[in-house]
Structure 1
Amino acid sequence: MKKVFVFDDNVDILELCTFILEDAGFAIKTSSTSNNIIDQVLAYMPDIIFMDNWLPDVGGIDATRALKAHDSLKHIPVIYFSANNDVKSLADQAGADGYLAKPFDIEELEGIINRHLTT
Structure 2
Amino acid sequence: METIMIQEPDGATLDVVSTALRMNGYRIYSVADRNENILEMIRGHHPKLVLLDCWLSKTSGRQIAHWIKAHFPRLPVIAFSCDDNIAEEYRRLGFDGYLKKPFDIDVLYNLIDKHLHRRKRQISEHA
Q: Normalising by the residue count of structure 1, what TM-score does the alignment of the two structures yield?
A: 0.91
In structure 1, the partner of 2:93 is: 94
In structure 2, the partner of 1:85 is: 84
Assess, with a 3 A threshold, how the Cα gap between structure 1 residues 97 and 64 changes in structure 2: closer, same or farther: same
In structure 2, the partner of 1:63 is: 64
SS at structure 2 position matched to 1:118:
helix
Are 1:75 and 2:74 matched, yes or no? yes
CA deviations 1:45-102 (Å, max 9, x no partner) are: 10111111122321100000000011xx221101111111121244222221111111
Amino acid at match of 1:3: T
> C-alpha displacement at 1:31, in angstroms?
1.1
CA RMSD after TM alignment = 1.3
> C-alpha displacement at 1:104, in angstroms?
0.8
Q: Give me the whole-angstrom Cα distance separating, in 2, the residues matched to 1:56 and 1:117.
A: 28
In structure 1, the partner of 2:38 is: 37
Q: Give me the whole-angstrom Cα distance separating, in 1, the residues matched to 2:69 and 2:107.
A: 24
In structure 1, the partner of 2:102 is: 103
Q: Give me the whole-angstrom Cα distance separating, in 1, the residues matched to 2:33 and 2:110.
A: 25
Q: Give me the whole-angstrom Cα distance separating, in 1, the residues matched to 2:33 and 2:85.
A: 22
